[in-house]
Amino acid sequence: MGVTRAPIAVALDAPNLATVTDWAREVGPFVSTLKVGLEAYLRDGRSAVDAARLAAPDCAIFLDLKLHDIPATVAGAARAIRDVAPDLLTVHAAGGSAMIAAAVEALPRTRIVAVTVLTSLTDADLVALGLQQEATASARDLAVRLAVEAVAAGAGAIVCSPEEVADIRAAVPSRDVLLITPGVRPAGADLVDQRRVATPAEALRRGADLLVIGRPITGADDPARAAEAIARDLTDG
């Protein structure tokens, strides 16, 4: 019996283009989405996207560049990848409404994804960076505020940690807006540099639409088997 593709974006943070291709081919039958990030895109350019798309043609392509600059520059960068035609493209929500709107206008056929607060940051980090006042420091509050503003500017998806996803769904009830959660780790997996995390099943229960999972799959001895196991747990649960 086959496995239904799970709502997982596998992060193809591979050391070379050949590995991008191998991972995409191995995990493609079990997941909905493949994520090409900075490492692969800066090294290989659109070849990384083309390789993933060719190896797993039924998967959506999530280009995770986290653009963050003045609106005109972000619009120009978005236009520069128009021919790459990613299904999703990330920008930083902290870039502001005008920047997000510029990306949306430049890439009308791509869902613009606004990244709220990186999952590697804690409340204490936000205070140290001056993004929150100590008495009221909360990654959750900041993420919700950024999400609401980003959606109002036209973002079609939000990236947030599993800890904030329920509050963001309450603040952004439209099911047309996808909630994407990194910081997802199977029970017992090494957290590495992630701080605000949950298991895949927990993240979905809290309201996530798409889970970003990288090292627990691609770092496994058999990425295909790891992807299949997580997908089966989610789709059979």
Taking the C-alpha atoms of residue 116 and residue 154, their distance in angstroms, rounded to an integer, is 15
Taking the C-alpha atoms of residue 145 and residue 139, their distance in angstroms, rounded to an integer, is 10
Give the CA radius of gyration of the chain.
17
Residue 57 CB coordination number (10 Å)? 9
Choice among 66, 195, 225, 232 that is catalytic: 66
| Among the listed residues 151, 219, 222, 230, the one whose alpha carbon sits nearest the alpha carbon of residue 187 | 230
Query: Which residues, in sequence order, are bridge partners of residue 60?
Result: 33
Q: Would you call 66 a catalytic residue per the annotation? A: yes
Q: Which single residue is written with the structure tokens 């191995």?
A: 26
Taking the C-alpha atoms of residue 53 and residue 60, their distance in angstroms, rounded to an integer, is 8
**Cα three-residue angle 145-149-152, rounded to 5 degrees:** 145
Taking the C-alpha atoms of residue 207 and residue 58, their distance in angstroms, rounded to an integer, is 24
Residues recognised as catalytic? 66
